[in-house]
Structure 1
Amino acid sequence: MTDIVSRPASAEPRTPHGVPGSRTTTPGGSSRRVSWDVLRCGFVLLVMIYHSTFIGPLVYHDILPKNYTFPHQVGASLLLVLSAYFVAATVRRGGARRGATARWWWGKLARLLPAFFVATVNAWLFLRYLAPDGWYLPGKKDLLANLAMAWHWDARWGFVDGSYWTIPLQLMAFCLAAVMWKGPLGRGVALRAVIWVALLLPAVQWWFRATHETGPAYGYVVDGLGLFRWHLFVAGVAVWMYSTGRLRLPHFLAIEVLAVGQHALQTSTLDPTAGWSTDWIAVVLIGLGVAAMTLAAVGPDWGTWLPARANRLITWLAGISYGVFLTHQTVGYVVMRRAQQLGVGPTLQTGLMILTGVAAGWLLTKAVERPAHRRLMAWWDAGPGRYGRVGAPSSTNS
């Protein structure tokens, strides 16, 4: 779920918080806000720490337990909130100009998919040819299923990299945002109704699933549509709406409180014998992350408080964060396990996984994500985008 108020960028209001839209100008003259880069880097670091200290030893028992464990799934969820905020903030760029929304949508796919496809093949190769004996050995059909993002739609397919569960959810958000921005559901009362339905429907579904017998097909559809994370997209869109004056504070707080409560529900288990189980630390951290995003949206840029060198490093890391997200987990597990064979201890293994993720993410960004995005956008502008702007050429043209 994401944006969506029908208002061109040129008409962006100055908000009650003194922030023109979601962008401000830094002392250096750039409109980039380092606040968002700080958050993006922090969230990706939480993902890597969670995977390296907790999930790795949990999934692969031959990886040594870590001296420090962070067992809370927080980073990936907050990245979805952040993604929703920027979908809402950018889908309107170009305003009502013909073809602007289609170009925005294509740009999102051009940024997301090529790097994902390459990273998926890379993770498959690592597991297939470099992983220790006894690890998951995916076949060619598993690779095709992962490229098609079929994990939640068929129990036969496992992840070659568990981080990738967020990718189809983001794709659905991009498509929905593009449709809503151009339709009646993207403004006014209808938009608010969509927001509340997206919050309440998954709660009803969770209760139904917890209290009724449901077949596999039901679970495939519910999980495939990502109902268990819709509240995160709502939380991000609400931050943008509040920061631009489209939501009043009481309404904003009601949405965010319910979204965080929904996260507590969707990440809980209800066992007839063990009872209710919830990771309340993760829930609190999600709430704090949303609060930090709100401060980033309505307050001064945090980059004004940091040294110029720190700003450059943070901006660089944020720029490769998607590549880091795609490459750190499976590749990092293999690196940790092979380093362990050489006598590397648990804490250094975690450091190696993080460094490997940064290096591999930089390489994926530089060699695949950015050049593929440039070429795909050039193709769009020369082909579908050109036709979308000026119409089909006349048959009399030579």
Structure 2
Amino acid sequence: MTDIVQRPASPSPHAPGGSAQPSGTARTPGGSSRRVSWDVLRCGFVLLVILYHSTFIGPLVYHDILPKNYTFPHQVGASLLLVLSAYFIAATVRRGGARRGGTARWWWGKLARLLPAFFVATVNAWLFLRYLAPDGWYLPGKKDLLANLAMLWHWDPSWGFVDGSYWTIPLQLMAFCLAAAMWRGPLGSGVALRVVMWLAVLVPAAQWYYRATLPPGTTYAFVVDGLGIFRWHLFVAGVAVWMYSTGRLRLPHFLALEVAAIGEHALQTSALDPTAGWGTDWTAVALVGVGVVAMTLAATGPDWGRWLPDRVNRAVTWGAGISYGVFLTHQTVGYVVMRRAQQLGVGPTLQTGLMIVTGVVCGWLLTKAVERPAHRRLMAWWDAGPARYGRVGVSDTRS
């Protein structure tokens, strides 16, 4: 998710406390100011994703992978990354649109950050499954590769994931497009924005039972899942944190929105077991709530970097900078690495460690070789082409 590598700006002067540069903002090498709090959250959320996949989903999907001694069976990290992404979408679209044409450039910058790394990571995951996975694993064909590159999995479940983490990518893409459109129109502020946020929570809740009890393969399910209606509440939660931190939402309204969003999360993540009936992972719901509280503290309080040693601050900042690459590369590649290491006698706990190391190394390579250079070149193309000849202007805000 591209916004997990976003370098956040300092809080707005309208935030509680009234300071654009609150005390406790860590100084990174080179003297620039940044909030280490967000880097801590990014790294923590991505680690939760890896632990969930390595200790629980991997042995569940591939039965020949040994069960782990310690498991984290809660889908929390990806949900919180969507909340975090929504926060930075709200913060950066406003700054990006400060000049004429800046919103278009902001939108292009998000796509330039999101898509090249995703395309390369998708091909890489396909190659690993196709040529390096053990016998008996899902063997994707060329049509599967094309379907995954086109992000068709929510629209037609017959297309399998080459990497299960990628379900968040089209939701991110839709959020970028919607944010750019709303910011330039009447729905981007004031009462209209608040109405949209409440509808984004209440409409999915109103149709939830009908969708949850539908047989698979129905047109309605394809449309609802394709539009990502089951996760809209997470974007609302992130935008609400930004609005509260900048003084655009009063505390009672903020709390009402967050309680409704967390309640909607409990609803949308409930599942029907043919024998046990409806079930909800209340631990996961509670942890998502804790994550939202942590983001609120990061947005409104002093920077956490003031309490951490410089060495830790540098490590966390570096990890946050490659976190999108880690997110894209850890799962499918990590499963293959775990299974092949198991053939060599590596135990289950060390396999989890190998998956973390694999994600960090591959994520760093993807960030260094693809994400950053592709983003620079695509933004240079925009500034030399559409911005110059299309007269849409150039914003000095980088995405």
- Where does 1:194-233 land on structure 2 (aligned, <5 Å)? 194-210=196-212, 216-233=218-235
- How far apart, CA to CA, are the structure 1 residues paired with 2:240 and 2:11? 19
State how far apart, in whole Å, the 2-side matches of 1:113 and 1:160 are: 16
Shift of 1:22: 10
- Aligned equivalent of 1:294: 296
Check whether the contact 2:76–2:287 (CA below 8 A) recurs between aligned residues. Answer: yes
Q: Is the 8 A contact 2:325 2:362 kept in 1?
A: yes
Q: 1:380 to 1:193 in 2, by over 3 A?
A: same
> Residue in 1 aligned with 2:193?
191
Name which of 85, 110, 118 aligns with 2:87.
Answer: 85
1:322-351 CA-partner distances (Å, limit 9, x unpaired): 000000000000000000000000000000
Counterpart residue type for residue 222 of structure 1: V
In the other structure, the counterpart of 2:241 is 239
Q: Which residue number in structure 2 is paired with residue 5 of structure 1?
A: none
Runs (5+) with no aligned partner, structure 1? 1-8, 392-398
Aligned pair partner of 2:340 in 330, 338, 341: 338
Distance 2:70 2:268 in 1: 26
Aligned to 1:356: 358
CA contact (8 A) 2:22 2:302 kept: no
Say whether the 8 Å CA contact 2:214–2:221 is kept in structure 1. no
Which residue, out of 173, 176, 179, partners 2:178? 176
Aligned equivalents of 1:287 and 1:103: distance in 2?
33
How far is 1:386 from its partner? 1.3
- Give 1:217 shift: 1.1
> 1:164 — aligned with what?
166
What is the CA deviation profile of residues 43-99 of structure 1, one whole-angstrom value per residue up to 9, with x for unaligned ones?
000000000000000000000000001000000000000000000000011444221
Q: Root-mean-square deviation (CA), in Å?
A: 2.0
Query: 1:243, 1:294 within 8 Å by CA — same for their partners in 2?
Result: yes
Q: Residues 1-398 of structure 1: matches in 2 within 5 Å? A: 12-20=12-20, 25-26=25-26, 29-210=31-212, 216-271=218-273, 274-389=276-391
For residues 173 and 41 of structure 1, do their structure 2 counterparts lie closer, same or farther at Cα, with a shift above 3 Å needed? same
Tell me how far 1:30 sits from its aligned partner: 2.6
Tell me the residue number matched to 2:3.
none
For 2:231 and 2:392, how far apart are their aligned partners in 1?
Answer: 39
Greater shift, 117-126 or 270-279, is seen at 270-279
**Structure 1 SS opposite 2:278:** strand
Cα-to-partner distance string for 1:239-259 (whole Å, 9 max, x where unaligned): 000000000000000000111
From the superposition, tell whether residues 11 and 162 of structure 1 become closer, same or farther in structure 2 (CA, over 3 Å). Answer: closer
Quote the offset at 1:389 in angstroms.
Answer: 3.4
Q: Distance in 1 between matches of 2:366 and 2:331?
A: 14
Contact 1:324 1:362 in 2 (8 A): yes
Deviation at 1:271, TM superposition (A): 4.9
Number of aligned residue pairs: 383
Check conservation: 2:25, 2:36, Cα contact below 8 A. Answer: no
TM-score scaled by structure 2?
A: 0.92
List runs of 5+ in structure 2 lacking aligned partners: 1-8, 394-399
SS, match of residue 107 in structure 1 = helix
Offset at residue 140 of structure 1 (A):
0.2
- CA–CA separation in structure 2 for the residues paired with 1:332 and 1:23: 40
* In structure 2, C-alpha distance between the alignment counterparts of 1:235 and 1:290, rounded to whole Å: 7
Task: Determine if contact 2:112/2:379 at 8 Å carries over to the other structure.
Answer: yes
In structure 2, C-alpha distance between the alignment counterparts of 1:11 and 1:279, rounded to whole Å: 34
**Whole-angstrom distance in 2 between the partners of 1:55 and 1:353:** 13
Runs of 4+ aligned structure 1 residues displaced above 6 Å come to 21-24
Q: TM-score, normalised by structure 1?
A: 0.92
The answer to whether the 8 Å contact 1:57/1:63 transfers is yes
Q: Tell me how far apart the structure 1 counterparts of residues 248 and 35 of structure 2 sit (CA, whole Å).
A: 21
Alpha-carbon distance between aligned partners in 2 of 1:23 and 1:328, rounded to the nearest angstrom: 36
